[in-house]
Amino acid sequence: MTTPLQEIADKIAPHLAASKNERSLKFDCGSDGIMVLDGREVVVDDRLADCTIKLSLENLKKLLKGELNPMTAVVMGKLRVSGNPAAAMELAKFLKA
């Protein structure tokens, strides 16, 4: 059975695989799971990452569809960033789901 987070990972994977990315970005969606963009692969598992973004699965979906502005989400407390935010900014171009 495919989880919603795995479906998102499957959509992002081709974009990331074709890149020269060497950074990592973790999306921590709490009880809905964790997805990590690690180098040129996407995994639905927990690993160390350059940057971690904590948010709900629903807010992740909105973020990926362009329905949630990242800066507004931070200010409103819907998204928390820890680690190197430059990694998040660099990897944002691969987040097409």
Instruction: Summarize pLDDT for 31-85 with one digit per residue, the tens.
Output: 999 999 999 999 999 999 999 999 999 999 999 999 999 889 999 999 999 999 9
Helices 4-17 and 57-65, interaxial angle, to 10°? 40
What pTM was computed for the model?
0.92
pLDDT at position 95 over 80: no
Please tell me the distance from the alpha carbon of residue 77 to that of residue 43, in angstroms, as a whole number.
26
DSSP 62: H
Instruction: Summarize pLDDT for 2-37 with one digit per residue, the tens.
Output: 999 999 999 999 989 988 889 999 999 999 999 999
Mean pLDDT of the chain: 92
State which fold the 4-92 domain adopts: Nonspecific Lipid-transfer Protein; Chain A (3.30.1050)
